[in-house]
Structure formats: structure tokens, C-alpha cells
Chains A and B, each alone.
Chain A
Amino acid sequence: MSAKIISFPHIGSYHVPIKFLLNALAGKGNKAISPPPITKKTLELGTKHSPDFVCIPFKYNLGNYIEVLENGANVLVQTSGGCRMGFYGEVQEQILRDLGYELDFYTIDAERGSAMDFYKAFKDINPKLSITYSIAAFAVATRMAYAIDGIEEFIRKNIGFELETGSFERMEKQFLHALAQATNVIQVGKVYREYLLKFQALPICKPSNPKKVGVVGELYIVMEPFSNYCIEKELAKFGMEVTRFLTISYRLFSKKHTAEYVLKNTGSYLKYDIGADATDSVGKSLDLARAGYDGIIHLKPFGCTPEVNSMPIVQRISQDFKIPVLYFSFDSQTSETGVKTRLEAFADMIDMKVASQ
């Protein structure tokens, strides 16, 4: 039997921990590969074979799959979420089979399934897999995700004030490269601490009271810089400190424990959970407004039902707290220039608002 080559769709920089985890679980003779980095071509490929008005993460994922299948992958993994994302797997599998690819497709249901389902899926790929070994591999991957989240948070807060253009991005590349070499929890921790110090040593010129904006919205668009035209870095160029709460570590590990609190914290704005990450969008917008931020950016794919649900409520918060909110909706036709113009206008408006106070 031929070797199994496992792959997965891209999301942000998380291909490092995902690839590590899949490689560890794949077993002897099998391996995991990352899809090629997302380009315009990826999106075109995905759009061509997708249903008309499905949300754009579906199109990106499908583009990733087609490109990586061309590179020799034969086992694909998809996760699921609380919205229509949970149904991605079955439809994508059908589309890929109709295109004539031979593949095994595993959907790991994070929302409705359990850790045991995850283990069983991999037991199927690698019959020799033991539970203790998978837990150990999972722990390393988790630590990596936390390390990435920690570093990225630092980058978001400071990249707008770098003295040497591009120094943060260069360091980020080195960090991801070093992280990919780590094989156990101790090494990951070492890399994290080493690079956090290196990042802190980069020269910046940060005013004591910088303008602050928060990013809320849908998981994929928020976390995948290509899909939002690197909106965080564009924002930073206007000399702003960017905050975002939604990260993989939050989504996978903290959300379970904080969901009830977040809902309660929205007070009179929400009585019930409004699906997927939309409750968080409302809760975090409210937190940002209360913390005196200068603006909120709300990102979502076109037609994302949960985030559309959250918009009237975020709008209400915007009116009540007099905090400006800029809504972006991304589709395969969204133009980069349009996004940049709106961002610039938003930044100007915040400048004027700050100046008038």
C-alpha cells in the first residue's frame, strides 16, 4: 500500500502546530505536508468549484485542498464549527471526488464530537497509534499554538511603531522557522522565551498613550491574514495598537469555560447565545467599548449568518458608547483598494476624533 500523505487547510500561522501534530500521529512511512501558501490562484481555484453563495473560507479551504492534492497528498483533514462550517467536510469531499481525486477525507467534529473521535480518526490512518502518545503530541501542538498566540499578540501591539520597516515580519518568519524545529514542550517553551526577548529588543518608538483599535469578527477571516488583506498590519501602519481576542487557543481551550461569563457580561444586549463566535463578537466589542478603545473593526465573510446576527447588536453598542465601528465583508470579489481606502478614512476619522477631545 502506498504511503499516506496527510494535509489540511491553511489558517494563519497555525500550519506549524497542525503539521507537527499530524506528522506525529501519522505513523511510520506516512507524513504530513502543508498546502502551498495561499495566493490569488488558490482563491480562484476554490471559487471555481464552490457553490455560488457559500462563505469564503469554504473557497479558500477548497483551493488549498486542490493545490495540495496536486502536490501528492491523499488524506485530507477538516475540522468543524458551530455554523455552516460543520458541513464543509462532506460537501468538499463530494466536490473533490467529483473532480476525480482519489482521497480519504476525515472530518474532525470539534463542536459536536469528542477528543475520542479525533483519536479514532487517526487510529484509522495509523493503526499502531497509542492514546498516551497522541496526548503527548497534542500537548506539544497546543503549546506551539499558545506560543504563536503569545508572540502574535506582542507583534500586533508593537508593529505599528517599529523604527526599521519590516523588522517585525522578518523576526516572525525566523520565529516560525525555529518553532517548526522544536519537538517537545521544553524546546517549544525555550523558543518562545528566546524570541519574545528578541522581539522586545527590536527598536520601537511607541507613544505612552497610543491610539487603540480592536478587531472582532468571524474566526477564519480574523485569523487568516491573506483573506483580510493583512488588515492588522495595515491598521498598524497608521500608528495604532491592535487588539484581538479570537485566537486558536481561545477558541479551542478557553471558550468552553468562558462562554457563560461572556454571555452574562453582555448584560441587556444579549439574552441568548447567538451562534458560533458571534456572542464573542458582541461581548468583546462591549469590553473594548468599556475599556475606552478608539475604534472597532468587525470582519466577516459575505453572508456569515452568525456575524450578521451580531451586527445590529454591535451597532447598538456603537451608538450607546459612541465608539466607531467599521464593518468589512469579504468575498472573492472584494477589492484590496476598496478595503485600504475605507481603512484610511477610518484612521483619519479616529485621528480627528482624538484631536477634538
Chain B
Amino acid sequence: MKIGIPKALLYYKYRIMWRSFLEDLNCEVVVSPNTNKAIMDTGENYSIDESCTSAKIFMGHVSWLIGKCDYILIPRIESYANGDTVCTKFYALYDICRSTFPEAKFICYNVDYAHHQTEWKAYKQLGEALGASVFHTRRAYLNAKNELTVYEKILQSNQDDLIHSDNLKVLIVSHPYNIYDEMLGTPIIRFLKDLNVDVFFADIPDSADMCAKSKHLSRSMYWHYNKEIVGSISHYESIIDGIIFLTTFPCGPDSLTVELLLRKIKGIPMTNLVVDSNTGEAGLHTRIESFIDIIAEKKKRGDEYVG
């Protein structure tokens, strides 16, 4: 069986796990290509115009996959614990796609810890739908989970290696599906690396640890994915020279979270880049360049002062 995976949203968080799990259950995995202008435009055509850009891109990927696989995998995530929910977009993606593309076939797994639907239960049902036995599913699930943990550990240690470098260090605070998307975050990261800046990613440090650390900055935040990236600010506070918030227009959780952080964090230069499908690269480059100039100057003066 051929399973299609859209290269957007949760792909960047769970790709290792999905691929391992599905291949273990003898499925062939088809992943849509990197986001390009065509995918973005198709996505926009298939979305309500007020959806966030990340979700529009997702629709473009789903549309690309139709006809190239038997089923398209769209997970439905509601919560990771009581009071630890995610953006409502993730609640609805499966139903939205079913309504928008009635001709396509989708498979789904539903994670909702607040209503006793754990990740294992979700994968068990997914395995059942794919025709695998419970034992086979269980083994595949544990293997996949393990692979994901190992991969995350490698990323973490790679990032920790950067701590001792002398370059400017900038923390990118955004969701993985924005940071690593070919049309949204990647050009920005590339540009920063060209400027000889060490880039730290907010999504890489350990999730549970970060959720706990997010309490320093916000007492009532309940979005799991936002807690993860907000926690990393407290985590790296002492070593970074600047923070870049990267938001897609009009992201609901980020609209409030970034406002709160901009008001609460003192002493670290910050900038907020809002991108959508029409954002021009030139304008972004100018803003990033001047931001890097500012933090470079600040660092230089700070060193002189101390010296």
C-alpha cells in the first residue's frame, strides 16, 4: 500500500517516526516535494483565505499527493495532557481535507490524552486500519518512537556544540513547520548563515523540559507546541545575542504569544518577522541585516565595556 505524507505542519516533527512505522508495516511512503511556488498557489486556491499560511501550504501538499498514493496520512492531534492542547487547526485538518477533497482517501490517527486517547492507542488504530496485527503494530510503534528519540538526541547534541563558538548567536523562535519550510524559514536561515551567524532552533531542545521552562515566561499558556518553543527562550537566555520570532500570518496562538514575549523579555534584542505567501525576500533581507548589525554592535560594545 502507498501512503502519502504531506511535507508540511507535523511532518517536520514526526517524519522519522511516521516513515519508520509505516515502512515497518510494509507500506510504501510517498512524501510530497519541498514547498514551491506552485504548491503554495494550489494550497491557497483550496483554502479559506483567512487560514494561516502554514495551513494553506499543507493543503497544497495534500493536493499534490492526490492520485500519487492510495491513502494520505493526516493525523488529528487535540491534546498531550489535560490542559495541554494544540492549535484548533490540528483538530480539524482531517475533516477539512475530507470536505475539500471529496475524491481523495485519507487515513487518520487521533491523539487526545485529555480524553484518554493516548499515542499508542492512536497508532494501534492506525495499524489496524492498515491491516497489521497488534503485536506487529506494537513492535513497529516502539521502534519508530525509539528512532525518533535517537534522532532528536543527535539534533540536540549538535545544537549544544554551537554554544561555545564565538560567532553571533541568534535563536529562531517559531514552529518547526515554519522554520524548515522551503518557502518560509529556509531562505531566512540560509541568509543568516551567510552572515556568519550561528542559528539556534527553538524546537530542538527536549520537549518535556521546555514545557516546564515555559512557565517562567507565561503562567497560563496551554498550547503544547508554543510551550515547547517558548521554553527554549529561558533555556538559551544566557548564551544568545538576539531572538527572531518567525510567524505566519495570521497564526492564532502566535499572535498573542509573541506579543506577550515582546513585552516580558527584557535585555535581549528581538525582532518579529511575519511572513505570508506574498512576502518579498528583499524586504526581509534588509530587516534581518539591520537586526544583525544591531546585535553585532551591542555585542562589541558590551565586550569593550567589560574589557
Q: How far is the CA of A310 from the CA of B94 in the complex (A)?
A: 12
Picked from B78, B83, B100, B274, the residue with its CB within 8 Å of the CB of A273 is B78
A180 located at the interface, meaning its Cβ lies under 8 Å from any Cβ of chain B in the complex: no
Q: What are 7 inter-chain pairs, A to B, with CB distance below 8 A?
A: A91-B259, A98-B263, A272-B78, A278-B88, A303-B252, A309-B92, A329-B50
B260 located at the interface, meaning its Cβ lies under 8 Å from any Cβ of chain A in the complex: yes
CB proximity of B43 to chain A, nearest CB, Å = 13
Q: How far is the CA of A144 from the CA of B218 in the complex (A)?
A: 36
In the complex, chain A residues whose CB is within 8 Å of the CB of B83: 112
**Best-buried of B51, B76, B255 by chain A (most CB within 10 Å):** B255
CB proximity of A23 to chain B, nearest CB, Å = 26
A308 touches B51 (CB 8 A): yes
Taken residue by residue from 47 to 87, chain B's Cβ proximity to chain A (1 for < 8 Å, 0 otherwise) reads as 01011100000000000000000000000101000110001
CB proximity of A60 to chain B, nearest CB, Å = 15
A182 located at the interface, meaning its Cβ lies under 8 Å from any Cβ of chain B in the complex: no
In the complex, chain A residues whose CB is within 8 Å of the CB of B274: 52-53
In the complex, chain B residues whose CB is within 8 Å of the CB of A270: 95
In the complex, chain B residues whose CB is within 8 Å of the CB of A52: 255, 274
B89 touches A54 (CB 8 A): no
B19-27, B150-158, B219-227 - the one binding chain A: B219-227
A302 touches B50 (CB 8 A): yes
Known: A84-B255, A305-B88. 14 other contacts (CB 8 A): A52-B274, A53-B250, A53-B255, A84-B252, A94-B264, A95-B263, A98-B263, A272-B95, A274-B88, A274-B96, A303-B250, A305-B87, A309-B96, A329-B50
| Closest residue of B by beta carbon distance from A54 | B255
B253 located at the interface, meaning its Cβ lies under 8 Å from any Cβ of chain A in the complex: yes
Give the number of A-B contacts (CB < 8 Å): 117
Q: How far is the CA of A274 from the CA of B76 in the complex (A)?
A: 10
A139 located at the interface, meaning its Cβ lies under 8 Å from any Cβ of chain B in the complex: no
CB proximity of A315 to chain B, nearest CB, Å = 7
**Best-buried of A53, A54, A270, A310 by chain B (most CB within 10 Å):** A53
Q: How far is the CA of A278 from the CA of B108 in the complex (A)?
A: 20
A127 located at the interface, meaning its Cβ lies under 8 Å from any Cβ of chain B in the complex: no
In the complex, chain A residues whose CB is within 8 Å of the CB of B258: 51
CB proximity of A326 to chain B, nearest CB, Å = 15
B125 located at the interface, meaning its Cβ lies under 8 Å from any Cβ of chain A in the complex: no
Q: How far is the CA of A83 from the CA of B253 in the complex (A)?
A: 9
Given contacts A87-B220, A112-B82, A308-B51, contact A276 B88 (CB under 8 A): yes
Taken residue by residue from 250 to 268, chain B's Cβ proximity to chain A (1 for < 8 Å, 0 otherwise) reads as 1011011111100110000
B91 located at the interface, meaning its Cβ lies under 8 Å from any Cβ of chain A in the complex: yes
B249 located at the interface, meaning its Cβ lies under 8 Å from any Cβ of chain A in the complex: yes
In the complex, chain B residues whose CB is within 8 Å of the CB of A272: 76, 78, 91-92, 94-95, 110
Which A residues between 93 and 144 are near B, CB-CB below 8 angstroms?
94-95, 98, 107, 109, 112
CB proximity of B215 to chain A, nearest CB, Å = 12
A86 located at the interface, meaning its Cβ lies under 8 Å from any Cβ of chain B in the complex: yes
In the complex, chain A residues whose CB is within 8 Å of the CB of B221: 87, 90
CB proximity of B139 to chain A, nearest CB, Å = 28
Interface size of B as a range: 35 or more
A273 touches B91 (CB 8 A): yes
B99 located at the interface, meaning its Cβ lies under 8 Å from any Cβ of chain A in the complex: yes
CB proximity of A96 to chain B, nearest CB, Å = 11
A51 touches B91 (CB 8 A): no
Q: How far is the CA of A148 from the CA of B169 in the complex (A)?
A: 58
A312 touches B256 (CB 8 A): no
Picked from A53, A83, A90, A278, the residue with its CB within 8 Å of the CB of B260 is A90
Picked from A55, A58, A95, A274, the residue with its CB within 8 Å of the CB of B92 is A274
A306 touches B88 (CB 8 A): yes
In the complex, chain B residues whose CB is within 8 Å of the CB of A55: 252
In the complex, chain A residues whose CB is within 8 Å of the CB of B78: 272-273
Picked from A269, A271, A302, A309, the residue with its CB within 8 Å of the CB of B88 is A309
Which A residues between 312 and 340 are near B, CB-CB below 8 angstroms?
312-313, 315-316, 329
A86 touches B91 (CB 8 A): no
B255 touches A313 (CB 8 A): no
A94 touches B96 (CB 8 A): no
Per CB-CB distance, the 7 closest pairs between chain A and chain B, nearest first, are A275-B88, A309-B92, A274-B92, A51-B259, A303-B250, A53-B250, A305-B252
A88 located at the interface, meaning its Cβ lies under 8 Å from any Cβ of chain B in the complex: yes
In the complex, chain A residues whose CB is within 8 Å of the CB of B100: 312
Q: How far is the CA of A251 from the CA of B179 in the complex (A)?
A: 38
CB proximity of A231 to chain B, nearest CB, Å = 19
In the complex, chain A residues whose CB is within 8 Å of the CB of B218: 90
CB proximity of B57 to chain A, nearest CB, Å = 15
Q: How far is the CA of A54 from the CA of B260 in the complex (A)?
A: 12
Which B residues between 215 and 246 are near A, CB-CB below 8 angstroms?
218-223
| Closest residue of A by beta carbon distance from B89 | A305
| Closest residue of A by beta carbon distance from B98 | A271
**Best-buried of A91, A98, A308, A316 by chain B (most CB within 10 Å):** A308
CB proximity of A159 to chain B, nearest CB, Å = 31
| Closest residue of B by beta carbon distance from A282 | B95
CB proximity of A318 to chain B, nearest CB, Å = 11
A66 located at the interface, meaning its Cβ lies under 8 Å from any Cβ of chain B in the complex: no
CB proximity of A216 to chain B, nearest CB, Å = 15
In the complex, chain A residues whose CB is within 8 Å of the CB of B257: 87
A171 located at the interface, meaning its Cβ lies under 8 Å from any Cβ of chain B in the complex: no
A262 located at the interface, meaning its Cβ lies under 8 Å from any Cβ of chain B in the complex: no
CB proximity of B113 to chain A, nearest CB, Å = 13
Taken residue by residue from 275 to 313, chain A's Cβ proximity to chain B (1 for < 8 Å, 0 otherwise) reads as 110100000000000000000000000111110111111
Q: How far is the CA of A302 from the CA of B157 in the complex (A)?
A: 42
Given contacts A91-B259, A107-B220, A278-B88, contact A311 B253 (CB under 8 A): no
